[in-house]
Amino acid sequence: MSDARRAALGAALARGRFDLLVIGGGINGAGIARDAAMRGLSVALVEQGDFASGTSSKSSKLVHGGLRYLENYELALVLEASRERDRLRRHLAPHLVQPLPFVFPIFRGDPVGRLRLSAGLWVYDGLAAFRNIARHRSWGRATTLRCEPRLRADGLRGAMHYYDCWTDDARLTLETIRSAVDEGAVACNYVGVTEFVRDGDRLCGARIVDGLSGATFTIAARQIVNATGPWLDRIRRLDDPGAAPVLRLTKGVHIVVPRERVGNRNAIVLRAPHDGRVMFAIPWEDQTLVGTTDTDYDTRPEDVAVDADDVRYLLAAVNAYFPAARLAERDVIGAYAGLRPLVAPPATEDETPSETSREEAIFESPSGLLSLGGGKLTTYRRVAEKVVDRLVERFAEWEPGRRFAPCRTGAIPLPGARVDDPDRGGFGGFAKRLRARAPANVDEVLIRHLLSRYGTAAAAIAERLAAAPEAARRLVAGLPYRRIEVIRAAESEMAATLDDVLRRRVPIAFRWSDGGAAAADVVGRLVAAALGWDAAQTASAVESYRAGVADEQRRRLHPPAPPAASQRRA
């Protein structure tokens, strides 16, 4: 985002008075801003870092019903998640949310046997009204090894085969914010709340600092929603310094390894040898994403990082299921760590991190601040609907004559998602027309890549490539991301730093062995041209990015000091 555009956004935020200020640009804040704007509220959204830079880009990339939540009898959560998964896949974002087959292997001595797992999957399919991609199937040992020949044979009894969905979590968040802006919301990244403004005993706004320019200003708003995820309690204490914490933060780490070493054809459900925790080995083109851990975390959210113990824990799990892989720390291509902002259970309940509910809760302070804790990527739209329902009721009491539109977020697709056959989630005729009109330098591989990331916006990108064939070049040889995507990120997707581009818009940072350090020069030049940086700004941005990558890799490879008791694995 250029300096001029940031200045214009700052002026828009400081001018007038908004109905709603949303603090937090993750998936929940994005969903709330979109829903509220579509119902007729004037909305401002601010994010202290980049959009989706916290939890919302550090997930397992799954849109799923939550099969394992059935173990805790959270039927309502599974039902809601299954419905939202279906809605996203079929209608709202079929270009971003795509079917993914899972294999749940069953070994001798496993805590959950075939009968119990089969019963759970019948319930799982039933809660989805049998509208999932396909019903689950039970495989014997021979079928399992034929479909997953690199899976450990020793003790294998068979497997269950079922479907969930995969998404680019950061991209889903960004498109939700872009949709909110299309509906009239004003959204800006790298602006943080420093204190609240009051009118009597009610909040009426917030003082803001621009983290890039240092500028300060005030946003006036009649209602404020705190959707900051792991930073929820910190913002609550700006309102009430004595507010008791309501969150239990748990750390989730993922690693990326070469898929040819693992050999998984489907997403595989794993159990960690150390503690039996369920995790996944997920195919991601030529790579496998392995995760996640689940450990209590009690230091600053911004300091969360992958450490050597996390990596060893995940490698032990994938090596136990795929013994021929023999993966070691040096084989890890990349890794990332995020925090789950779970609602803390009552002090009387002794729950492990994995047993703590993922359901959301809304907390309201005496001054009117609404704070959202918990929640899942899959159910973000429904959670936002609940929050905005509450806001609309409040505004209707304040302004009895004012009319609000009904919630439409479940009916109106996200940008890029208008398809020829919404029920099947296909791009059919659109894809054919795109192939017929694409310039010579846009081949079938690039068309599929653009469709899976940008949907119908792929047509405009392909048209631009006709005039700028250099922009079709890959950023690194082994990944599908192209230079045109960097240009788009800087020009149209509010990217302001190289981290924004290489970690969230085109996630090379954890998908290439050098963390994108070698590509930083090219990316820096492309961003500089779009944002008007001079040579010194560009060099500084490249140096800063490379330093961040080096620090991450150093922490990942060297063991930390012994953890406190609250940070040990449950």
Residue 49 in any domain: the answer is yes
Q: What is the mean pLDDT of residues 379-407?
A: 96
pTM: 0.93
Lowest-pLDDT choice from 74-78, 109-113, 259-263, 463-467: 74-78
The lowest-confidence range among 25-39, 103-117, 243-257, 318-332 is 103-117
Helix axes 75-87, 380-398, angle to 10 degrees: 100
| Tens of pLDDT, residues 435-447 | 888 888 889 999 9
- pLDDT score of 529: 96
Average pLDDT value for residue range 165-194: 97
Whether 544 and 466 map to the same domain: the answer is yes
Is residue 456 within 8 A of residue 416, CB to CB? The reply is yes
Is residue 133 over pLDDT 80? no
Q: Are residues 549 and 464 in the same domain?
A: yes
What is the rounded distance in angstroms from the CA atom of residue 3 to the CA atom of residue 134?
49
Q: Is the pLDDT of residue 263 over 70?
A: yes
Bigger pLDDT: 5 vs 465: 465
Task: Name the more confident of 568 and 126.
Answer: 126
Residue-wise pLDDT for 398-430, tens only, equals: 999 999 999 999 999 999 986 555 444 457 778
Provide mean pLDDT across the span 181-194: 97
pLDDT of residue 570: 35
At residue 129, the pLDDT reads: 66
Mean pLDDT of 389-394: 97
Q: Which domain holds residue 503?
A: 428-557
- Confidence label for 462 from pLDDT (cuts 50, 70 and 90): very high
Residue 154 sits in the same domain as residue 295: yes
CA distances from 291 to 162, 416, 434 (A): 19, 29, 36
pLDDT category at 220 given cuts 50, 70, 90 is very high
Same-domain status, 24 and 108: no
Classify residue 72: in a domain, yes or no.
no
511-524 pLDDT, tens digit per residue, is 999 999 999 999 99
Task: Tell whether 548 and 462 lie within a shared domain.
Answer: yes
291 with 390, same domain: the answer is no
Residue 420 located in a structural domain: no
Using the predicted structure, report yes or no on whether residue 548 has a pLDDT greater than 60.
yes
Average of pLDDT values for 65-77? 75
d(C-alpha 437, C-alpha 217), whole Å: 48
- For the chain, what is the mean pLDDT? 91
Q: What pLDDT was estimated at residue 567?
A: 41
CATH number at residue 392: 3.50.50.60
Q: Is the dihedral of CA 476, 482, 488, 489 positive or negative?
A: negative
User: Position 511: which residue type?
Assistant: R
Task: Measure Cα distances from 268 to 85, 102, 282 in Å.
Answer: 19, 6, 6
Closest CA to 1 of 424, 395, 495, 365: 495
Number of domains in the chain: 3
Same domain membership, residue 319 and residue 266: yes
Separation of alpha carbons 459 and 352, rounded Å: 48
